[in-house]
């Protein structure tokens, strides 16, 4: 890292570490303002800033108010998160900074300020997890999410086949490999500029985590069916389901955010899908939803959640969420799941999913729903995946975790109206 890169990183961290906005939004806005920054500059700045977020517990132990000392936070991130030797950056340091980093380096393996520091998790989240997990499980989770995520992509089966696309990507990036579970997925450990790649531009490839791909597989959509994606967002899963249906049938993509649905429309066009119908709704109780009551073959509820399964990609989320925000999300999830269930026809399928690791948002939410809706029964995800020739058994629920599966933390339950 050079002096200019360090200066830019400090400016980015001064805003990021207030946790008032998503860190990726802060970084994107900064790069838009500084268009002259080259690719290598952007890489160094982004990697160091995200290392500071991942190691914020230790950095905040060494610096009481990291956002007020962003240069020191950036230097600490280099040592703690990027394994930089002090000698490599000695020309950037004054005497006081050299002493600070020397003390930090000496302490690197001796942070014994509690489980939250060892696991790099805020105290509120540690307390939430302690209700369900053992200490070693919390530590394992903390370590797994402190690794950067690979890039998972999905081959759009309307435009290509994985066994044809994979060799093309391997010729460009030797680390490209087939995902172990999704029949559509390819994983790249070293990220590439996919948004400029010809296979992305022509709709053959889409960015999608393997866990999300398996969720689309569990929806089990067939040609000619009526499908509802109740919380479609920008439509990653909607696109996967549309391809699964070979562009036949009808998918209603509902969301409360016009902006997210607007992002779906060009993606549909690029993917060659015409069976998706995006529609903005005011809430899960919007009267326009009632026309589909009891008519949908499959309803997908990828519920608003804490996002704590995506901490490899969004390490700031653990500081922007709290026990209070999670409690509010639980009621919202319950309400959405209840409303969505009304659309499912007899023998139809209701799939509930989150990108959270909290049982309150996952298993407990499903158990609450089933206790209130005896007309639904739980299907076994392991058996469903086996029938689809996917060799994965996480039990009756689909549960992905970053450490074991190299995916985002992900949960899904498949319910059927009796």
Active-site residues, by number, are 355
Token pair, residue 50, equals 């995200």
Residues written for the chain? 418
Q: Which DSSP helix (H) or strand (E) runs through 398?
A: strand 398-400
How buried is 346 (Cβ within 10 angstroms: 0-12 exposed, 13-18 middle, 19+ buried)? exposed
Distance from C-alpha of 351 to C-alpha of 366, rounded to nearest angstrom: 10
How buried is 263 (Cβ within 10 angstroms: 0-12 exposed, 13-18 middle, 19+ buried)? middle
Pairing of strands 151-155, 205-207: antiparallel
| 24 has binding-site annotation | no
**395, 383 contact by CB (below 8 A):** no
User: How far is residue 341 from each of residues 46, 72, 239, 368, measured CA to CA in Å?
Assistant: 42, 51, 22, 13
DSSP 46-68: HHHHHHHHHTHHHHHHHSSSGGG
| 302 has binding-site annotation | yes
Q: Which DSSP helix (H) or strand (E) runs through 299?
A: strand 296-302
**275, 257 contact by CB (below 8 A):** no
Q: How far, in whole angstroms, is CA 391 from its chain's centroid?
A: 23
Distance from C-alpha of 155 to C-alpha of 168, rounded to nearest angstrom: 12
- The position carrying tokens 């040592």 is 79
Distance from C-alpha of 246 to C-alpha of 168, rounded to nearest angstrom: 24
First-to-last alpha carbon distance for the chain, in angstroms, is 61
Residues marked as binding for S-adenosyl-L-methionine?
A: 255, 302
Residues marked as binding?
A: 255, 302
């Amino acid at each position: 890292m050079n002096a200019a890169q360090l200066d830019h990183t400090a400016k980015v961290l001064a805003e990021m570490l207030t946790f008032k906005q998503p860190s990726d939004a802060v970084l994107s806005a900064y790069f838009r303002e500084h268009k002259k920054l080259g690719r290598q500059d952007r890489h160094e700045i982004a990697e160091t800033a995200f290392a500071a977020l991942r190691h914020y517990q230790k950095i905040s132990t060494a610096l009481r108010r990291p956002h007020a000392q962003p240069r020191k936070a950036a230097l600490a991130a280099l040592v703690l998160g990027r394994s930089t030797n002090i000698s490599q950056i000695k020309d950037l340091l004054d005497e006081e900074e050299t002493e600070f980093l020397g003390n930090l380096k000496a302490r690197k393996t001796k942070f014994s300020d509690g489980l939250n520091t060892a696991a790099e998790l805020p105290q509120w989240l540690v307390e939430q997890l302690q209700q369900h997990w053992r200490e070693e499980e919390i530590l394992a989770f903390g370590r797994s999410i402190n690794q950067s995520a690979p890039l998972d992509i999905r081959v759009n089966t309307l435009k290509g086949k994985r066994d044809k696309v994979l060799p093309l990507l391997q010729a460009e990036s030797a680390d490209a490999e087939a995902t172990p579970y999704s029949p559509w997925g390819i994983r790249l450990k070293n990220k590439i500029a996919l948004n400029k790649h010809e296979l992305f531009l022509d709709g053959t490839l889409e960015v999608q985590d393997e866990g999300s791909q398996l969720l689309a597989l569990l929806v089990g959509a067939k040609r000619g069916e009526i499908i509802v994606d109740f919380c479609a967002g920008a439509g990653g899963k909607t696109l996967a389901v549309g391809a699964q249906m070979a562009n036949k049938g009808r998918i209603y993509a509902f969301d409360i955010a016009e902006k997210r649905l607007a992002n779906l429309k060009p993606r549909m066009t690029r993917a060659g899908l015409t069976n998706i119908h995006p529609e903005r709704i005011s809430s899960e109780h919007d009267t326009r939803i009632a026309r589909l009551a009891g008519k949908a073959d499959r309803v997908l509820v990828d519920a608003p959640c804490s996002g704590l399964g995506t901490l490899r990609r969004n390490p700031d989320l653990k500081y922007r969420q709290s026990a209070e925000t999670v409690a509010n999300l639980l009621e919202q999830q319950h309400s959405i799941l209840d409303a969505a269930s009304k659309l499912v026809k007899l023998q139809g399928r209701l799939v509930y999913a989150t990108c959270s690791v909290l049982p309150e948002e996952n298993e407990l939410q499903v158990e609450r729903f089933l206790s209130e809706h005896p007309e639904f029964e739980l299907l076994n995800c392991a058996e469903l995946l086996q029938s689809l020739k996917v060799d994965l058994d996480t039990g009756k629920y689909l549960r992905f975790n970053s450490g074991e599966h190299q995916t985002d933390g992900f949960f899904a339950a498949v319910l059927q109206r009796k």
